[in-house]
Amino acid sequence: MFSSKGKGSFLLMVSIILLLAGNRATAAEIQKISSIQHVYVDDEFIGSVSDESEIEKMVLAKIVEAEADYPEYTFDKEAQMTYVQENVFNAEIDDEETLKVLEEEFAVKAEAYEITIDNQVVAYVPSKEDAQEVLKEIHLLYIDEGELAEYEESQEAGVLNQPMALNEQGSRILSIEYSKPISWKETIMEPDKLMTVKDAISLIEKGKKEKVIYEATGDEELEAIADQYDMSLGQLLQLNSELEEGKRLHKGQKVRVTEVAPFVNVLVEREVLKETEIPFERKVIKDKNLLKEESVVEQEGQEGVQAFTYKLTETNGELLSETIVKKEITAATQNEITRKGTKIIPSEGSGTFAWPADGGYISSKQGHRWGKLHKGIDIARPTTRTITAADHGTVEFAGNAGGYGNKVTINHNNGYKTDYAHLESIDIEAGQKIEKGMPIGRMGSTGNSTGVHLHFEIYKNGVLANPLDYISQ
């Protein structure tokens, strides 16, 4: 459609042409000028019409049909085709023919977003949100969703630009990049070519087949090479016309094969903090004051902690490089210190006997008393009630012995034995080696006793002996 100014210029130009041709143009002839519409679909000329209303009806009908088949998509009537108007004389236009061509060739297209990787269109999705989700899901093929969310949050807050460091075991993403440029833009596309986010991701994850060169490392069967690259023998021969079925490749010979390569690689740089335990040392100190069988832990051992900070580079989830950028000891070790006895208790007594109580006096000697023999001596009124072994030996008995009450018998393995009776408690056990002066129990009044005291007996070669012949108060 011309503007009024443009129309006047056009008529003036026509008049000049007619005058130059030697003709006289009448007003009636000038009125024969008419407007037509040239119809284009995807920038391709389809035909011309004098009235586009029938085309609009046809397009609308096709859109209604498409909306019924694809209710989830958006179809815009204005985006389906374009018109270019022209004013011509004596137009001879076949509207029906143009409409017929459109009926056969015109395909309704839906609003779509085209996803491009390295200038190659790989998928179409219905919406901008879907395109954004596809880009996110590419990340999630190789990155944990929680990690990705944390990274995006830190990017928004600018946290990674600050000199912060991990203070506990774990990792964080420092950067995410694509190996090839990825973009998306708005377009229109046949609805049957649109993909769901899931299908688009599946296609991208599957990758594409690329031709590469394989070099034989030795004499190799063609079938084995084809299997290695998930090809049939026929496909391998088709790519390499110089090969013959049944022949073998020799070392160094090269052939063309196809392998699946990802559309794009996801490059991730991480910072990782890992802690390892530093084992503590076990130190043993010999102690002559402890028996050889005894050991005492003087200081508990405690493992130290060493922290390593790494920078990792990954491609599609596979580790490419690992570099230690920092290491420090965050907790020092504490060595275990054990005192181990070296003192050896002789299994045989010395033949001389020590006073078996802590002080005290002899309240009753050995001899006849109350019509019967008092076999030993009684020691009473001690400083403390601790009873000690009179000489080295082995505990032969430790327990209750009727009238003796709680009783201990020590065999000194040299023909002598000693008995300790009426004990309140016993601190050793049968079979135990005993050193002269070692505590064996507590003075008491168990059994047939007249009060708190120690009844002490000595035997030599099984014969009762008088303790006063061997010990003195």
Please write the tens of the pLDDT for every residue from 232-288.
999 889 989 898 888 888 999 999 998 888 888 999 999 999 999 999 999 999 999
Q: Is the pLDDT of residue 428 over 60?
A: yes
Confidence band, pLDDT 50/70/90 cuts, at residue 10: very low
Domain 357-469 has CATH 3.40.640.10: no
Structure tokens at 143: 């990155």
The C-alpha R_g of the chain, in whole angstroms, comes to 54
Structural domain boundaries in the chain: 32-106, 208-261, 266-343, 357-469
Answer yes or no: is pLDDT of 22 > 80: no
What is the enclosing helix (H) or strand (E) of 235? helix 233-239
CATH number 2.20.230.10 given to 266-343: yes
The b-or-e profile of 165-179 (16+ CB within 10 A means b, else e) is: eeeeeeebbeebebe
Residue 461 pLDDT exceeds 90: yes
Residue type, 214: Y
> Could you report the per-residue pLDDT of 358-375, keeping only the tens digit for each?
999 999 999 998 889 999
Q: What b/e string do you get for 275-297 counting C-beta neighbours within 10 Å, with b at 16 or more? A: eeeeebeeeeeebeeebeeeeee
Contact 165, 174 (CB under 8 A): no
DSSP label at residue 73: S
- At residue 90, does pLDDT exceed 50? yes
Q: Which CATH architecture has domain 208-261?
A: Roll (3.10)
Is residue 16 helix, strand or coil?
Answer: helix
> How remote is the C-alpha of 328 from its chain's centroid?
23
Q: What's the DSSP call for residue 315?
A: E
Residues 406 and 426 sit within 8 Å (Cβ to Cβ): yes
Q: Can you read off the two tokens belonging to residue 22? A: 């030697």
Which tens digits make up the pLDDT trace of 282-320?
999 999 988 777 899 999 999 999 999 999 999 988 999
Residue 448 has phi, psi (to 5 degrees) of -85, 90
Q: Indicate the SS3 state at residue 192.
A: helix
Beta bridge partner(s), residue 267: 177, 315
- Residue identified by tokens 């599609």 is 316
Closest CA to 116 of 261, 263, 315: 263
Residue positions counted in the chain: 473
Inter-CA distances, 343 with 252, 289, 293, Å:
77, 6, 8
Q: Which pLDDT tens digit goes with each residue over 203-217?
A: 888 888 888 899 999
